[in-house]
Structure 1
Amino acid sequence: MIPHVIKLSKSGPTKGVFVEPVQYAARDDLESKAKGLKPILLEDMGCVNLDFDLDSEEERLWAAGVMSTSARRSTRFQGNPVYHVSISWPEGEHPTREQCEKTVHHFMRGVGMEENEAFWAIHRDTDNDHLHMIVNKVHPERGIVTGPPRFDYALLHRLAREVELDQGWSHDVGAYVVTKSNPGEPKIMRRDIAVKMGLWKEEEIRRPNVSSHAHAAAQRLGAEPFQVWIAGQPAKDLRDAIHQPGATWESAHQALAKHGLCIEPKGSGMVVTSTLADGQVVAAKASQLGRWASKAALERKLGPYRPPSAHAEQAAHSYQEHVESTKTRSEHRHAEEPATDAKRATRREERARAREDLAKRFEAEQKRWKESRMQMRSDLRERHLGERKQLQADLRDERKSALAKDKADGVPFKVSQSLFAYRAALRREELQKRQALERRAMAVEVRRSLDWRAWLEKQAEQGDEAAKAALRGLRYREQRKSKKYQEQDGIEGEELDPLRKLTVAALHAEVDDKRQLVIYRGHDGREKFTDTGPRIVMHDKADDTLEAALRVAAQKYGGKVDITGSTEFRERAARQAVRLGIKVANADLQAIVADEQARMHQQRAPAWATKESRGPGQTQERKRSEPGSSEKTSDLSPEIGDKPTPQSARPAPRERSAALPEKQATALAPISLKQAMEQAMEQWLDGDRSSAPVKAFIAAHDRATRLGANGHTLIAEVVDRVVTRRGDGVDADLGGFMASIERQRKREQGMGR
């Protein structure tokens, strides 16, 4: 978990006021209502050292008022008494109310404020569950400030590591980290000390710092922040250009112009800018390209700044093009590879067309939005002006009647004027406040341009599958670039079908439509793994959970997966995937895949097929069934399957397999025969409706049974492997294939008679 102190104003109109932070945490504020956000549930909020039910907005306002009154007991404290801390859990971790309460008490005790008043609420409608803890720095009885201590950043991170260990959460990185100097003994250490002792390795590559404005712009555009984008290929091209012999400022301008960028002085430094299609200019400090790109470093290298020439080179790939391509391309790394079968190729084309259509709809909607924005604001101004004029006219009429009535009642004229002026001032103030709220609501609702992500969320709520897939792609891209991505155990692949629940034995699936997740739980209610769309995140590492996750991944991703996480998990998952017939795409795991395939081949070889025990007939039969045999016969040949094998080759294996259990007897079938059955079935499913795949399947099946395999179990295993790779949608085609086999059998029996 990551703690973060939300900075507040030390003085001004918000000093000592707990209403706004409490309303924000409980989602009672105007901005949350304008966005349509639902109030926080009663079980997801609470208070400490306050006696309020919190079951209504009025109750929460009373609680905030009591905290403000307690803060005024301190006459010497001149700062802001609101201590607002946000505590965020990693994606996939969802604390209960009891765990939230324990976390709040532990943090308050850690900063020395356990006797102070506090309000807390947890937000669960974002990618990461996060808790807002609002504490009064002033003690409610003693009237003195009891916390927090200075430099509370490091202390909060230590408290977070303690809660992680106590409640079993994964460990985030901060001023303190969890190390394991001794196996099974986690220890909390300062990160700098852990690095010096060799117990913690800092990241070698640091991503550029991104401002809040850049983050907001990236959310609106649906692409990575401009400050991050320029640190990639544009920075590389600029660095190569200025390090060429005889480089000048014109060389730098030409290198950046290829990406639609311009560099110019601003203040005491330099900025890099790019203009978007709507005329908006995005900018970043030149030092975001690297320390070598600061103003001082560039002028030492190139001399005093010179503006570019009038003829700028045409941009080959600008930030605008990057934004547009982000909306229409697939985020998965294997999206450009050829599809493994015709159905996946068709689904890939359909998904690409859906993304393009979604982007066009967004552009059209944004154009309409901009056209209507000015009109909506103009209508609001005219309505407000009309209301003010109407109030002025009403007060003018009311003043005459009020003064006449007071005169008749004997009220002095000056007193009557003063009373009416007071009532008129109240009316004007009421109108001004209402209009101010309407303008703020309009500013929230009617922004300059549509937010790509917010628009996707709105379309997804209406059931648009393309928008749902785009949302999952955005989250996948963000996760892939996070620090914990490669450390998190998971399975991923190219998602081409809508997110849905898949039937997995002993697991219960729950669909989270808001976050576009499918959570798989065990009988104990604990999360086993989460399907986020392009990625399956593992929470439980048991063998049965891993097998279930791999089977789900095979159905979703067409039998081809990438495996991420720790070395131990990746090796274990790769071996299990090979046993299930699932292709592993990771290049660095191919040695493990080959080793597991060789081990499986060795295990499936019949125990009786040794050099000492096999006779001449057995040797010949074994030679024909081995893969890579130099015999001219083929495992897919129907003629060989129909020919009876010599009687001398059968007695030993039949007698041997009769004493074996059914599952072990099935394993005696040489691996090439089972593969031949799978190949024949795959050939039929790919569209070959001739008799060739049917005869090949029958031939391989008959040879395997003559070698001692159980026919029914063997067919069940082959069908299970094919369904695992292709998904449940092949059930109907498999039924037709099995019916063709039955007809072929009857024809062969008829010819025999």
Structure 2
Amino acid sequence: MLARVWRKKHDRRNAFRVLIDYVTRAEAEREPEVESLTNCLSLDTAHAEMLAVAHRSALVRGPALHIVISWREGEQPETRQALEAGRAALDALGMPPEQHQYVIAIHRDTDNVHLHVVVNRVSLVTGRAVHPGLSHLKLDRCMRGLELAQGWQRDRGPYVVVEREGQPVVERSLVRGPQQHRMPARARDLEVFGGMESVLTYARGAPLRDALAALDAPGAMWQDVHEALARHGLELRLKGRGLAVCVKDDVGLTPVKASSVHPRLAHGRLETALGAWVEPSRIIRVLDARRRYIEREVGELPSDLGEEHAQMRAQLRVRYNIESAQARSALETAQTNLRRHHKAEHQAMLKRHREVRERIRASALPGAERKAASSVAAFTRARELELLFERQIGERAALGKPQSWREWVEMLAARGDEAAILQLCAWARRHPRGRTVQPQPRNWFASVGAQDIDPLPPAKAQVMQNWIWRVDTTTGNVDYERRGERQFTDEGYRIAFGSHDAQLDVMLAGLLLARQKFGRHIDVGGNEHFLERTAMLAALYHVDVRFGDPRLEARRQVLVNERDERERWMREKRERDWLDREPGSVGQTGDSRPQSQRVASQVPGGGADLDPEHGHTTAPER
């Protein structure tokens, strides 16, 4: 379990409202999957109650405190256990739940179940604010205790569980340096809460291995280390009295301490091994990197395909930033012009009604009639202004707003854009929010071994040109439809059929798509009827595949041999028919039967036919 105080600046007057709306997802379009609890009168009035108590302390600044507690992936705490963890965290920070107002929300729609606690630092009893210093140490000690009490897997942190006289005890860890694998808070937050690989994790992978190999080489020099890091898009730079590992092409990313990547990369130890500090040469500075740090998922395999997909997603984000900036600029221009036009309309209407009032005042009407005319003019003015404001509000709303990153990606994915589909798949793996659990398909074609394959963009699916396809904007999967019904789905690592008894033409299309995606080696899953028809289709239509199931592959080989034998005898039949049509060739065989019967009698099985519906041979009627 991990916990931390999430520090974010909010306006003092609306901090409670903003945080409570965020953790309870009050503005969600659909019913949020959040379990919430508060010791205030209600969730709707919690922010007002907290603000009223906070006003009792004249010196407090930022009375709202936001705590986040996260469990490991796969751990599913009960509601009782989650609430116990939230209250224990408040006790650890010196804010007993009985004396402080709080709102607790449990989120279960991500890979890691996590808990949000919004608490008022001002006490209900004393009216004084609590200042929870060293909150990261207090919370980490509390988490170790909760792991022991509730039986969760232990996470690394400043505190560890040790055995003392046969009893588990929580103590401050005395281990320092690389054995503890410490990670800065911002990098840890990026990976735990954002699911993205940090610069530190990236540098500790292949770049570190190459840098240490360069250090261990005989006659190692500073330029060797610089070159090893430069091939991965990283660079060593002086920062204060030490060294930092920076991303070469992105100055906006925070550099990491070289010693946090590995102790051997510390400034002092490198100077001891290589001599005084030397800047990287100009050739190394302009060296093309084989790999670069880009936002990729934590645990994503550093394969060539994964690197290519990560690059495509990064380029997609660049495209969005450009188009979004252009859309915002166009929207600001349109809003300025519309605002100017609306102002002119408003002023023109006011001027017109002012002239009407002046004419009424200057008229020779009796007092009662002039007063009545003024009332009618005032009513007409109010009504026309109301209609004007309603129309102007509609015109401003019609301008719309630039699409968000998610909306823009979903729009491109619906058009079949490959990078957008990859981005949807990455989101689905990282944050499975709102995904409904689909029943496991009984029939499917899958890759042998590889599980990191994304759906094939419909434009690249050569055999699916005449099919109707739709992209699921939640998962990135591609559904292929015919006759108004979904026939099968490209889920990336497999082709899953929606029907338990798919038609032969649908199965053949799915098999050819699997051959294009996965190559020759394919796994097949399903009932015996589906397996038999798959082997039959592969043999009948000469599909160059090999099945991972030995029994199914053996059956395919049998059908291929039968097909080859049948085609061989059919070729011989055509040759004999051609000879029979030549002059003087009739009767040379000494058989008075028709040529077709003579050939059929020589074919193994008596001219048996291959039944495409059931995948086996049937004897012809005699």
TM-score of the pair, normalised by structure 1:
0.44
CA distance in 1, matches of 2:413, 2:78: 26
* Contact 2:294-2:310 at 8 Å conserved across structures: no
1:51 aligns with 2:41: yes
Note the C-alpha offset of 1:21: 1.1
Aligned equivalent of 1:137:
121
Aligned residue for 2:122, secondary structure, equals coil
Per-residue deviation, residues 656-708 of structure 1 (Å, max 9, x unmatched):
xxxxxxxxxxxxxxxxxxxxxxx99466246245999xxxxxxxxxxxxxxxx
Matched, 1:78 2:34: no
Post-superposition CA distance 1:342-373 (Å, at most 9, x none): xxxxxxxxxx7xx8997797578556535523
Q: Distance in 1 between matches of 2:241 and 2:348?
A: 60
**Distance verdict in 2 for CA 1:380–1:215, change over 3 Å:** farther
SS at match of 2:229: helix
Distance, in Å, in 2 between the alignment partners of 1:356 and 1:261 is 16
Task: State the match for 1:684 in structure 2.
Answer: 554
Whether the 8 Å CA contact 1:16–1:82 is kept in 2: the answer is no
Is the contact between residue 113 and residue 147 of structure 1 (CA under 8 Å) also seen in structure 2?
A: no
The one of 168, 183, 203 aligned to 1:209: 183
3-state DSSP of counterpart to 1:144: coil
Q: Is the 8 A contact 2:111 2:430 kept in 1?
A: no
1:229 is paired with a residue whose SS is helix
Match of residue 4 from structure 1: 4
Q: Answer whether contact 2:231 2:291 (CA < 8 A) is retained.
A: no
- The CA deviation at 1:153 is 3.8
Task: Give matches, 1:512-523, under 5 Å.
Answer: none
CA displacement at 1:72 relative to structure 2:
0.4
With over 3 angstroms needed to count, the CA separation of the structure-2 counterparts of 1:301 and 1:381, relative to structure 1, is farther
CA shift, 1:91, in A, is 1.8
1:93 to 41, 62, 75: 75
Q: Which runs of 5+ in 1 are unaligned?
A: 55-59, 196-200, 337-351, 410-430, 477-491, 500-512, 517-532, 535-556, 560-678, 693-731, 744-753
1:389 maps to: 340
One-letter amino acid of the structure 1 residue matched with residue 76 of structure 2: H
Q: 1:115 aligns with which of 99, 119, 124?
A: 99
Residues of 2 paired with 1:87 and 1:117: CA distance?
A: 18
Does the CA-based 8 Å contact 1:15-1:79 persist in structure 2?
no
Structure 2 unaligned blocks of 5 or more: 362-391, 433-447, 456-472, 477-492, 495-521, 525-548, 563-610
Tell me which of 282, 286, 290 is aligned to 2:262: 290
Query: Hey, what does 1:495 align to over in structure 2?
Result: 451
Give the aligned partner of residue 18 of structure 2: 20
Give the alignment's TM-score, normalised by structure 2: 0.52
Taking a change above 3 Å as real, the CA distance of residues 216 and 398 of structure 1, as seen in their structure-2 partners, is farther
**After superposition, where does 1:333-344 map in structure 2 within 5 Å?**
none
C-alpha deviation, 1:306, in angstroms:
4.4
- Counterpart-to-counterpart distance in 2, 1:79 and 1:150: 15
Secondary structure, counterpart of 1:44 in structure 2: strand
Q: Structure 1's 690 and 397: CA in aligned 2 closer, same or farther, altered over 3 A?
A: closer
Aligned to 1:83, the other structure's residue is in SS state: strand
User: Residues 149-228 of structure 1 correspond to what in structure 2 (within 5 A)?
Assistant: 150-164=133-147, 167-178=150-161, 187-192=168-173, 205-207=179-181, 209=183, 212=186, 224-228=197-201
**1:201-234, CA deviations, whole angstroms, 9 ceiling, x for partnerless residues?**
99964446356479769999x9733332223343
Whether the 8 Å contact between 1:40 and 1:121 is mirrored in structure 2 is no
- How far residue 280 of structure 1 moved from its aligned partner, in angstroms, is 8.1
Change (3 A) 1:180 1:68: same
**Does 1:263 find its partner at 2:232?**
no
Provide the C-alpha distance between the structure 2 equivalents of 1:74 and 1:405, rounded to a whole number of angstroms. Answer: 57
Aligned partners of 2:239, 2:61: CA distance in 1, in Å?
Answer: 35
Change (3 A) 1:405 1:88: farther
User: Which residue is equivalent to 2:331?
Assistant: 380
Q: Aligned equivalents of 2:152 and 2:552: distance in 1?
A: 44
State the partner residue of 1:445. Answer: 404
3-state secondary structure, aligned to 2:112: coil
- Is residue 2–residue 87 contact of structure 1 (8 Å, CA) maintained in 2? yes
1:63 equivalenced with 2:36 (yes/no): no
Return the alpha-carbon distance in structure 2 between the equivalents of residues 304 and 495 of structure 1. Answer: 48
Equivalent pair of 1:118/1:135 in contact (CA under 8 Å): yes
Specify whether residues 2 and 275 from structure 1 end up closer, same or farther in structure 2 by C-alpha distance, changes over 3 A only.
closer
For 1:360 and 1:391, the matched residues in 2 are separated by 46
**CA gap 1:95/1:15 in 2 versus in 1, 3 angstroms:** same
Paired residues of 1:226 and 1:319 also in contact (CA < 8 A): no
The SS at the match of 1:90 is coil
Equivalent residues, number: 434
Amino acid at match of 2:99: E
Counterparts of 2:320 and 2:291, CA distance in 1 = 23
Alpha-carbon distance, 1:558 to partner: 7.0
| C-alpha distance in structure 2 between counterparts of 1:94 and 1:457, whole Å | 33
Structure 1 residue 44: Cα displacement: 1.1
Q: Would the aligned equivalents of 2:162 and 2:171 in 1 still touch at CA under 8 Å?
A: no
Counterpart of 2:284 in 1: which secondary structure?
coil
Residue 8 of structure 1: CA displacement? 4.4
Contact 1:118–1:134 (Cα < 8 Å) also in 2: yes
Structure-2 separation of matches of 1:689 and 1:243: 58
Amino acid at match of 2:110: T
Task: Tell which deviates more after alignment, 285-294 or 390-399.
Answer: 390-399
Instruction: Check the 8 A contact 1:27/1:38 in 2, yes or no.
Output: no
The one-letter code of the counterpart of 1:381 is E
The alpha-carbon deviation at position 377 of structure 1 amounts to 1.8
Identity over aligned pairs, percent: 23
